[in-house]
Amino acid sequence: MEEDYIKLIFGLKLKQIRTEKNLSLFGLSKISGLSKSYLNEIENGKKYPKPDKIVTLSEKLNVPYDQMVSLKLDKNLAPIGELLRSKIFKEIPLELFGIKESHLIDIVANAPAKVNAFISTIIKIAQHYNFTRENFFLASVRSFQEANNNYFGDIELQVSKFIEAYQIDTNHSISAKDLEDILIEEYDYKIIHDELSKYKALDNLRSVYVPKTKTLLLTNEIDEGQRAFIYAKELAYNFLGIKERLFTFPWIKFDTFDQVLNNFYASYFAGALTIPKEMIVGLLEDIFEKDVFDRVSFLMAIKAFNASPESFYQRLTNILPEVFNIQDLFFLRFTHKVNSGRFHLKKELHLSHQHSPRANERNEHYCRRWVSLQVLNEISTNDNDHQFDIQISNYTNEGRKYLVLSSATKDPFSEDYYRSISVGLLINKQLQRKINFLSDSNIVKQEVGVTCERCTIENCEVRQAPPMVLEEDEKNLEIEMIVEELKTKFNT
């Protein structure tokens, strides 16, 4: 057992015993002869007392010595013990969220019964929705992004230093060859382009890095933009001095939270390198200044960089909050298999609020009026490489409108699969000040819901299921009203 864990368990048990006997720290200090500060450090898991001190505490508290030193916790503290044993406090860098581990332990120690109930609730929810350790780590990173408005100035600064150090011309699209040369010449990489394609089981992998020989294996299936992104991530790991990292793209498994967080940092670096801040800001300013939406200019802006539409949309979530002060936005990535009738929300980010739509685990049907799903339907029935559309979505139940930009492309690694990437901007006074084309009559305005099961839109031609949740709510409301009437009727 880890020494820190043993200290924490003993401290929790001592505090529980002292509290049950209505003793203050001062009182325990007085009867045991141990200083108040020393006892406080024991209870906070900072010190473990020597055997003679445990004997003294055992005698004065009238608790058997074996019970004092046992790592077995009673019912009230058992879930907390499981939490501590899981090493979750060690795996997640709490300092990123401004939290000290000692503060959490103090909360646990001060209200064990209430914390026990809270932890048990979280565990039950996680089990009910099959919320895995991986889900938890990814959700933690997403929360970290949202807390920082998905803009990380220190990484942007490192990208600027990298560009200056290697004299990269950011006025033009950065080629994969330029980045490959830096990997080979500066970091002694060996790059093999056709190895992964030999293994059918690896058809979903873009790259594998072998650290011992600094060998980067790539699949033949990636395009120029994907190749540039992979190279840029490898450069990030090296230039930023990141050691704790993932070795496949996309990842297969990870062992620590640091690997997940560093994967995000490397991806952010890659996006900022392949889509330079100054260039994308200039393009967006030109588009936002016009009174009508310039579809051609927007599509040209996407193509101006050696990057996928997804990387471009991801970069929007960095730039819009920081440069244009557009902070109320969401990012979504849907996947869809042809003729399946199902759409899966695989990635999402919400800045400032928990905007609609959000992923749901209730097997409900997402609103088919969303432009995110419409572009997927369109590209699956034509030969286009890229399907784009724009929409103003009005969530009538929530009283909110969003300007939504959405692109769909074929998934190169999955047969008959397509994916859409969308950015939705909450229409408020701030957005109206920044974007002039919001009044463009050519932009389709659509009444939308979240899921069919929760939608009030009547006679919807694309409804996939009846509004069962709303019907249940209405039934419960009717029952509640009748009960109130009965209470009033028979109250006299």
* Helix, strand, coil abundance in the chain, percent, nearest 5: 50, 15, 35
Residue 376 tokens, joined: 């997927």
For residue 478, the tally of other CB atoms under 10 A from its CB is 10
Cα dist from 233 to 8, 121, 159, 188, 196, whole Å:
39, 38, 12, 15, 18
pTM of the predicted model, to two decimals? Answer: 0.81
Q: Return d(Cα 340, Cα 342) in angstroms, integer.
A: 5
Query: Is residue 290 classed as helix, strand or coil in its secondary structure?
Result: coil
DSSP string over 45-109: TS----HHHHHHHHHHHT--HHHHH-----TTTHHHHHHHHTTHHHHS-GGGGT--HHHHHHHHH
Q: Given this model, what pLDDT does residue 429 score?
A: 94
Query: Is residue 415 classed as helix, strand or coil in its secondary structure?
Result: coil
Q: Return d(Cα 215, Cα 235) in angstroms, integer.
A: 13
Q: Give the DSSP letter of residue 197.
A: G
Residue 91 pairs with which residues in a beta bridge? none
State residue 390 phi and psi, 5-degree precision.
-135, 150
Q: Which of 307, 191, 201 is nearest to 252 (CA)?
A: 201
Q: Which of 348, 162, 159, 194 is nearest to 267 (CA)?
A: 159
Secondary structure element (H or E) that encloses residue 321, with its range: helix 309-323
What is the amino acid identity at position 43?
A: E
Q: Which of 137, 5, 2 is nearest to 81 (CA)?
A: 5
Residue 331 pairs with which residues in a beta bridge? 349, 423
Dump strand ranges (E) for 286-416: 329-337, 343-351, 386-395, 400-410
Q: Give the DSSP letter of residue 255.
A: S
- Digitized pLDDT (tens) for each residue of the chain, 492 residues in all: 477 778 888 888 888 889 888 999 999 999 999 999 999 999 888 899 999 999 999 999 998 998 888 887 776 666 666 666 666 666 666 777 777 766 666 666 566 667 666 766 766 766 666 667 777 788 888 888 988 999 999 999 999 999 999 999 988 899 999 999 999 999 999 999 988 888 888 888 899 999 999 999 999 888 899 999 999 999 999 999 999 999 998 888 888 888 999 999 999 999 999 999 999 999 999 999 999 999 999 999 999 999 999 999 999 999 999 999 999 999 999 999 988 888 999 899 999 887 777 766 567 889 999 999 999 999 988 888 999 999 999 998 788 999 999 999 998 778 889 999 999 999 999 999 999 999 999 999 999 988 888 888 888 899 988 888 888 888 998 999 999 999 888 886
For residue 273, the tally of other CB atoms under 10 A from its CB is 27
Q: Give the DSSP letter of residue 425.
A: E
Contact 103, 131 (CB under 8 A): no
Which residues are CB-neighbours of 440 under 8 A, at least 6 positions away? 291, 292, 293
Q: Give the DSSP letter of residue 174.
A: P
The number of residues in the chain equals 492
Q: Return d(Cα 277, Cα 173) in angstroms, integer.
A: 13
Query: Is residue 216 classed as helix, strand or coil in its secondary structure?
Result: strand
Residue 466 tokens, joined: 């009846």
